[in-house]
Chains A and B, each alone.
Chain A
Amino acid sequence: MSKNRSETAANDDPARKQRLSVLAKAPADRLKTLWDAWCVRSGVPDHDILRTPEIGTVMVRGRAGATGAPFNLGEITVTRCSVRLSTGHIGHGYVQGRDKRASLAAAMIDALAQSDQADAVDDMVVEPLQLEAEANVASRAAKAAATKVEFFTMVRGDN
């Protein structure tokens, strides 16, 4: 019963949500590079694969103008995987694209982040990915902002 409760708590954990979001959106190559670096430093954690990496699609929904009614934008390819570490922590990895190794890495990171190595894995893998993602968004926004046109109305004489 206590396990059930702790698992529910883990599912509602906003930090985990954020971490999984970063992992899901990260470029597969960067994710794998950072994960390999972790493995070189700490070794590949002992794990059982609960669900072998499998490729599928999920529907992405959007809102017109980010505020309108939701509509189905289209399907994207997603690879998912679930692992259990020898410590008993279960991790689920969902990543964009067809990269099975990246989904395995994401699942391992999710599992490690629930263990006592959470801070280390956050520092080495998740933080860099998050910063890169934020930098990407910022530079895109800056490029878009540079093309912004300011409209203003000339005051007409008879007003």
Chain B
Amino acid sequence: MDTQSSYEGAFASPPTDSAQAFRAAMRAMARPGTIEAIAGARAPEPFSEAAASLLLTLCDPDTSLYLAGEHDNEAARAWVGFHIGAPLLPADRADFAVGTWGALQPVSAYKVGVAEYPDRAATLIVEMPSLERNGAQLSGPGIKDTANLNLPEIGAFQANRRLFPLGFDCFFTSGQSIAALPRSTRVSDLSAEEAA
């Protein structure tokens, strides 16, 4: 059963589907806090459709991948092997990492780039139960005034922002939606501000 489903789930029409998925990912990253629709691919449990589509769009045999926690199972490895061919590496060497926020910990393990090549940083794909426009307050490049997104944590992203121009970038996926938080975005706790 697992070996069967590992062969399924590719885009029905790879050129158009992956272009649309890339467009959604790009818009999400360009405007942190917006929630875009992304769909078309299916991967074994517990991958969301959004995470599977994003992996098919962004990863290939030249980008290493880290599967965290429950996302690292036999079926998922076979699926990645057939559809993407990305080498699976441990967290500290991977270009992309997928998992829930809890499974991806500690986030200090991921590559943040080096001063000469800040692009050599990891991109985390964080699986979320849902994406909502409330919670942490975001500001910075790509955000007109402020935006809100239900981030799983705030301190880690504030620490990541302090590394700028180094640091990791994050996509958040849930069902068929995607949002992003690049390292350039400032994150503050809305509830703490209201209390003050």
Give the interface of A toward B (CB within 8 A): 3-4, 7, 50-52, 54, 82, 84, 88, 90
Contacts and interface: CB of A to CB of B under 8 A. Distances in A.
B22 interface: no
Contacts of A50: 7-8, 10, 82
A88 B5 CA distance: 11
Interface residues of B, number: 10
A3 B10 contact: no
8 contacts: A3-B3, A7-B3, A50-B10, A50-B82, A51-B10, A52-B10, A52-B14, A88-B4
A85 to B, nearest CB: 12
A84 B14 contact: no
Contact of B14 (A3, A4, A54, A82): A54
B76 to A, nearest CB: 15
Contacts of A7: 3
A82 B3 contact: no
Nearest to B83: A51
A103 to B, nearest CB: 14
A47 to B, nearest CB: 12
A82 B7 contact: yes
Contacts of B83: 51
Given A52-B14, A54-B14, A84 B7 contact: yes
B3 A4 contact: yes
A90 B7 contact: yes
Contacts of A52: 10, 13-14
B143 to A, nearest CB: 38
Interface in B1-54: 1, 3-4, 7-8, 10, 13-14
Nearest to A50: B7
Nearest to B11: A52
B134 to A, nearest CB: 40
Contacts of B82: 50-51, 82
A82 B1 CA distance: 17
B72 to A, nearest CB: 18
A88 B3 CA distance: 11
A52 B11 CA distance: 9
Contacts of A88: 4
Nearest to A7: B3
Residue picked from A3, A50, A82, most chain B C-beta under 10 Å: A50
A50 B10 CA distance: 7
Nearest to B10: A51
A106 B3 CA distance: 21
Contacts of B1: 3
A84 B3 CA distance: 12
- What 4 A-B pairs have minimum CB-CB distances, sorted nearest first? A50-B7, A3-B3, A51-B10, A7-B3
A120 B4 CA distance: 25
Contacts of B7: 50, 82, 84, 90
B7 to A, nearest CB: 5
A6 B57 CA distance: 32
A127 B1 CA distance: 33
A50 B78 CA distance: 14
